[in-house]
Amino acid sequence: MSLLLHLQLFTFCLALSQLRFVASHQESGDSHCEPDAEARIVAEFMPGFVTLDGHADDWGDINGFDFPLRPALDPDEDKEYKAGKMTVKALHDGKDVYFMLQVDGDYVYSKGDNYKCPSVALMFQVGENASYHDMGGCKELPGTCNNKTCRGHEVDIMHFSIGNSIPGRLYGGNNADRIGLVDMFAWNPHCRNLDGIGSAGNESTAMNDWKGAWWHSSFTTHSGYVEEDNPYASSGQKGTYYFEFTRSMRTMDRHQQDVQFTIGQSSKFSAAFWYPIDGNPWHSSGHYTVSCDWVPLDVTPGSSTHVKVASGSSWDAAAGFAFLISVVAFCVSIFVGYRVSKTKRAIPFTPIDHL
Ligand SMILES: *[C@@H]1O[C@H](CO)[C@@H](O)[C@H](O)[C@H]1NC(C)=O
Ligand SMILES: *[C@@H]1O[C@H](CO)[C@@H](O)[C@H](O)[C@H]1NC(C)=O
Ligand SMILES: *[C@@H]1O[C@H](CO)[C@@H](O)[C@H](O)[C@H]1NC(C)=O
């Protein structure tokens, strides 16, 4: 009897705890994450395809992935960025890796005010225990987060705010920090540092390794803008923003602040987008991201499928020619056989050493 009572009590408690779990699950929307299993970026070996100028024409033949953009802190379908998806493309040339981010958006630009201009970021897993959620997910707070307490939670972040840069011009290196193209690392959203600055001290070899450029499809000149041309186009024009970046696959980082890419291996990344919706300045946590978890990024070796596809047509031609030759040879042999059988004369055997 008492066993039955215990069982009933147990079941009751289980039901209650499940109820509570369901309720808490509904309250906090951001714990609910179902990433798209198909989402994946492949950086193929394609040397000599792209120029780092912010223009996307040279990326036309390169496959990317279209991600819906949802608020990072509340990845709800209803709150998706309405103007379009973010297309992310990547490739490498054996030395550097390149990224192209394309997002539809009416042209907005307010010189000197990054918060009234669109902005993008890339984030990569560095430490093996770094989660997408909470930028590495280290539980320590400023004051206690350091390279010992948060070891294994490092993420690498590149953030480009365009309010101080001219479209089509190249920015990068340590001078780009004041422009708005920064190379950071983080253990969580409250423990972010510029590369080379922070608990590990300043070291010039561990600083800004990124280069980048941006463009908007409503621009009409290709001859080069200067700062006085701003805002470069009239506000509100329909079009697409392009953000193009590159970095060495390996850097001279000694402190777990940079992701290191390896040919034939996969990295984990994410991309974020800020946009001044209805002209209102954005705030740092008001960004959209491409997924509610890491997205795989494969850096593939030289013998990529693309190269095979590209050489496929010449292979077909060679195979066709060989087939034609074999058909001709077959016909000739039938004809010779026919002639031989018709003349009914035996061909004399000639030993080879008499030739
Ligand atoms: C990552 O977490 C696992 C399991 O908690 C632990 O064994 C490992 O040492 C951690 N890695 C680092 C680099 O801290
Ligand atoms: C590191 O560099 C920054 C900016 O140049 C400076 O403000 C800071 O004092 C430096 N820190 C150390 C530990 O040298
Ligand atoms: C960790 O930080 C300390 C300074 O707080 C520095 O001396 C040390 O080199 C750092 N270690 C690594 C692996 O970056």
DSSP sequence for 109-167:
--TT-GGGS-EEEEEEE-STT-BTTTTB-----TTT-STTTTTT--EEEEEEE-TTS-T
In this predicted structure, which of 9-13, 95-99, 151-155, 167-171 has the lowest mean pLDDT? 9-13
pLDDT tens for residues 30-45? 457 889 999 999 999 9
Name the band, by pLDDT with cuts 50, 70 and 90, for residue 11. very low
Among 203, 255, 257, residue to substitute to test ligand 3 (most atoms within 8 Å of Cβ): 255
Average pLDDT of 132-161? 96
CA nearest neighbour of 93 among 55, 50, 58, 57: 50
Residues with CB under 6 A from ligand 2: 197, 201-202
For residue 1, the model assigns a pLDDT of: 42
Mean pLDDT of the chain: 83
Average pLDDT of 147-170? 96
Which ligand has its closest atom nearest to the C-alpha of 258? Answer: 3
Residues with CB under 6 A from ligand 3: 146-147, 199-201, 255
Distance (angstroms) between ligand 3 centre and the Cα of 55 equals 40
Q: What is the DSSP string of 21-39?
A: HHHHHHH-GGG-----TT-
Distance (angstroms) between ligand 2 centre and the Cα of 105 equals 38
Distance (angstroms) between ligand 2 centre and the Cα of 205 equals 14
> In this structure, which topology does domain 32-302 adopt according to CATH?
Immunoglobulin-like (2.60.40)
Exposed, middle or buried: residue 291 (CB in 10 Å: 0-12, 13-18, 19+)? buried
pLDDT tens for residues 292-333? 999 999 999 986 455 444 444 555 555 656 666 676 666 667
Which ligand has its closest atom nearest to the C-alpha of 201? Answer: 2
What is the atom index within ligand 1 of the atom nearest the CA of 127? 13
pLDDT tens for residues 62-87? 999 999 999 999 988 899 999 999 99
Distance (angstroms) between ligand 1 centre and the Cα of 240 equals 42
Q: Which residues pair with 96 in a beta bridge?
A: 248
Which ligand has its closest atom nearest to the C-alpha of 200? Answer: 3
pLDDT at 26 over 90: no
What is the atom index within ligand 2 of the atom nearest the CA of 197? 1
Q: How far is CA 43 from its chain centroid? A: 8
The structure tokens 């470069």 sit at 232
Residues 6+ apart with CB under 8 A from 329: none
Domain residue limits, the chain: 32-302, 308-346
For residue 4, the model assigns a pLDDT of: 44
How many angstroms separate the CA atoms of 120 and 20, rounded? 38
What is the atom index within ligand 2 of the atom nearest the CA of 196? 1
Give the residue whose CA is nearest to atom 10 of ligand 3: 200
Q: Which amino acid is at 208?
A: N
DSSP 213: E
Please tell me the pTM assigned to this model.
0.76
Among 197, 199, 203, 257, residue to substitute to test ligand 2 (most atoms within 8 Å of Cβ): 197
Average pLDDT of 143-165? 96
Q: In the structure, how many helices (H) and strands (E) does the chain have?
A: 2, 15
- Residue 307 phi, psi dihedral angles, 5° rounding: -65, -40
Give the residue whose CA is nearest to atom 2 of ligand 3: 200
